[in-house]
Amino acid sequence: MKFEDYRIAQGIKTSIEKLGYKKPTDIQYKSIPPILKGEDVLAIAQTGTGKTAAFAIPIIHLLQERNKTGRNEGVKCLVMAPTHELALQTESVFKTLGENTRVTSFCIHGGVEQEPQIETLNKGVDILIATPGRMFDLVSQGALNLKGVQILVLDEADHMLDRGFIGDIRDLMKHIPRNRQTLFFSATINNKIKKLAYSLVINDAIRIQISPKDPVAKNIEHAVAFIEMDDKRFFLESLIKDNAKQKILVFVRTKVRAERVKKAMERVDINVDTIHSDRLQEEREKTMNNFRSGDLKVLVATDVSARGIDIPNVDYVVNYDMPETSDNYVHRVGRTGRGREKGQAISFCSQEEKYLLKEIEENLGKSIQKIEISKGDYKTTLEFTGEKTDDWQSLMKEAEEVNKHKPHKKGKNRKRK
Ligand code: AMP
């Protein structure tokens, strides 16, 4: 099946062609036809599988067909996203795909002034992409009317539940018509997600589409190497220096660790930047743009800040700290190998993190390839470092920080990053 064969507006086909997409991805193939028919759909697909276009393409087509006059009739489609980054990125997919149509899209999120957002809304927006907080502010002020919503999308529904947005979602239902099409996109499926989905649709006929069976896409080569906590920075340094031209995304457990890795890399003259929740929205966007453009080659991120973001051409994902759940593993390695590109991911697993590896493998239902590092190679990597060990002050400070932020043991209070 090719995109040309779909019965969708010519303007959308032109944009798809411009983007260079030839064939639909698996989840697009499975979701576009039922969405075009107006069905409620629960699609299980990770970021990186082309899931945004899987709902954006049919939604733009449906709205283009329904609005022949081009008059401003208020918001017709609401896409809820758990994070700013995902919302902005989704907006950009809608804008690109809708470029040659009359359908307009706009994103609202907190952390910026609301007046300009209200002005744009007043001019008329067909598709609104929003994070829950700012959307409710505007609805309660009467600045946003959702009575004309025909299609509701909950993107990363699992992540929405994890972040405690369930109450917000239920409140939202009071503001939008019951008679609508509802679409759920989620990276994982469990009873909670199914319950949420069935509670939000009028009839029980939800079409469930799952892609792919293996939660890690086939085009991603992923492996694990056993490296002790204190040695990880030397292995990261070596990996970055060996792959100087490649774009590398490094995941750490906490924002404190993100800053520590940054400092450690700077000591050996490697330029890296971080994204995490302690950085201002503006700084985060600037860093993301630098990374997207390739001016910045190495980005260190926490799970929450990086969920859902689409960065084309990430060559390598490094799990500097093992993720705490298999969902996070799938989300992290899914940052590489986007669409049909190839990608590589490596996890640095220390002795104290082995239980996490075991849990991840159990949940994936398969073992992850192990990279054997011989004692000689391990030693050479430690010796290879460009680090000057005479900088005692910063090393002492770092050691203090490590002690303060020892990894949580299984079952103990796991803090949000
Ligand atoms: P998503 O899962 O929506 O975050 O998309 C991941 C990446 O796949 C994005 O960079 C898209 O531009 C790309 N993509 C989406 N659909 C296709 C397709 N049919 N062919 C090739 N790449 C695609």
Q: Summarize the confidence of residues 315-323 as an average pLDDT.
A: 96
Of 307 and 52, the one with more pLDDT: 52
The pLDDT confidence band at residue 229, using thresholds 50, 70 and 90, is very high
pTM reported for the whole predicted model: 0.62
In this predicted structure, the answer to whether residue 369 has a pLDDT above a threshold of 60 is yes
- Which residues have C-beta within 8 Å of that of residue 127, sequence separation ≥ 6? 59, 60, 63, 75, 76, 77, 78, 79, 94, 98, 103, 104, 105, 106
| Helix pair angle (354-364, 326-333), 10° resolution | 80
How far, in Å, from the CA of 92 to the mean position of ligand 1? 12
Length of the chain in terms of residues written: 417
Ligand 1 touching residue 86 (CB < 6 A):
no
Q: What is the average pLDDT value for the chain, to the nearest integer?
A: 87
The predicted-structure confidence for 62-120, as pLDDT tens digits, reads as follows 999 988 766 767 899 999 999 888 999 999 999 999 999 999 999 998 888 999 999 99
Question: Domain locations in the chain?
Answer: 3-210, 220-404
Instruction: Reply yes or no on whether the pLDDT at 175 is more than 90.
Output: yes
Confidence band of 208 (pLDDT split at 50, 70, 90): confident
Q: Model confidence over 296-314: pLDDT tens digits?
A: 999 999 987 777 566 777 9
> Which pLDDT belongs to residue 68?
74
DSSP-based three-state secondary structure for 250? strand
| Residue 365: per-residue pLDDT | 67
Specify the pLDDT at position 210: 72
3-210 with 220-404: one CATH topology? yes
pLDDT score recorded for residue 179: 92
Give the pLDDT score at 213.
57
Estimate to the nearest angstrom the gap between the alpha carbon of 124 and the chain centroid.
28
What CATH superfamily classification does 220-404 receive?
A: P-loop containing nucleotide triphosphate hydrolases (3.40.50.300)
- 338 C-beta closer than 6 A to ligand 1: yes
Name which of 349, 346, 320 is nearest 228 in CA terms.
349
Q: What was the pLDDT predicted at 155? A: 94
Q: Can you give the pLDDT at residue 20?
A: 87
C-beta 337 within 6 A of ligand 1: no
Ligand 1 within 6 A of CB of 343: no
Residue 26: CB within 6 Å of ligand 1?
A: no
- pLDDT tier, 411 (very low <50, low <70, confident <90, very high otherwise): very low
Which of 184-198, 223-237, 337-351, 354-368 holds the top average pLDDT? Answer: 223-237
Is the per-residue pLDDT at 200 higher than 90? no
pLDDT of residue 339: 72
Return the beta strands (E) in 328-375 as ranges.
Answer: 343-349, 369-371
Which of 47, 309, 310 best tests ligand 1's pocket when mutated (most atoms within 8 Å of CB)? 310
Whether 185 lines ligand 1, by a CB cut-off of 6 Å, is: no
49 C-alpha vs ligand 1 centroid, how far in Å?
A: 6
Pairing of strands 298-301, 272-275: parallel
Instruction: Tell me, using a 6 A CB cutoff, whether residue 25 lines ligand 1.
Output: yes
Query: CA nearest 297: which of 258, 341, 251, 241?
Result: 241
Domain at 3-210: CATH code: 3.40.50.300
| Any atom of ligand 1 within 6 Å of the Cβ of 48 | yes
Sort strands 181-186 and 105-108 into parallel, antiparallel or unpaired. Answer: unpaired
Average pLDDT over residues 259-273: 95
- Please work out whether the CB of residue 340 comes within 6 Å of at least one atom of ligand 1: yes
Centroid of ligand 1 to alpha carbon of 208 (angstroms):
21
Tell me the pLDDT tens digit for each residue of 380-407: 888 888 776 555 555 556 656 655 554 5
**Ligand 1: distance of its center to the CA of 29 in Å?**
13
How far does residue 338's CA lie from ligand 1's centre (Å)? 6
Spatial distance between the Cα atoms of 210 and 352, rounded to a whole number of angstroms: 34
* Residue 17 near ligand 1, beta carbon < 6 Å: no
Which amino acid residue places its CA nearest to atom 13 of ligand 1? 339
Q: What percent of the chain has pLDDT over 70?
A: 89
Provide the pLDDT for residue 149: 96
